Amino acid sequence: MKHSFSWLTPKAQKSRTVHGFGIFAKQNIKKAEKIIVFGGYVMNNHQFDNLSLQLKHLPFQIDENLYFGLYKISEMEPADFLNHSCDPNCGFFGEITVVALRNINKGEEICIDYATCSDNYRSLTKDMQNCLCGAKNCRKKISTQDWKKKSIQKKYRGFFQPFLEKKIKRKS
Ligand SMILES: [Zn+2]
């Protein structure tokens, strides 16, 4: 069996979208089910800054100055094609696990809100900040400070990266 970094539920797969690739449910998935367990490399700011432009799109933030990503495009696996939506069906549960926030129907794209894993410019590069997710409540512009919005905090409480969860707790 081929070794892999990440685990993606067999109930989902990588497929082509209008914008590139995404992950889609192959069958119905129940609320709270585990969708992805990410593997990869833990990077500090310096290591992140040395990534190629293409690889800079990949990492998500797991602490103030730590990111989780890959060093080669060839290391990308289906789980790495997880896209953003302003009305996502998934969120983080701990640093590396993504779970379903609600029941997901076969054919739906699996998405998270980048607000749950982004607090500085490294984790959300400029060209990713115009949102075309198409959700009714699309913010159009997504920012690294979206986690500070009360409505966002309420929506994803318990499903942010733990370091953001802690920051929210301190502020409220
Ligand atoms: Zn959007």
Gap from CA of 114 to ligand 1 centroid (Å): 10
Q: Distance (Å, rounded) from C-alpha 102 to C-alpha 121? A: 29
pLDDT band for position 75 (50/70/90)? very high
Delineate the domains of the chain, giving CATH numbers in brackets. 7-164 (2.170.270.10)
pLDDT exceeds cutoff 70 at 1: no
Gap from CA of 73 to ligand 1 centroid (Å): 26
Gap from CA of 132 to ligand 1 centroid (Å): 5
Model confidence pLDDT, tens digit, residues 24-49: 999 999 999 999 999 999 999 999 99
Give the closest residue to 62 by CA, choosing from 74, 45, 87.
45
Give the closest residue to 133 by CA, choosing from 115, 153, 106, 154.
115
Model confidence pLDDT, tens digit, residues 116-153: 999 999 988 877 789 989 999 999 999 999 999 999 99
Gap from CA of 111 to ligand 1 centroid (Å): 11
Q: Distance (Å, rounded) from C-alpha 74 to C-alpha 65? A: 25
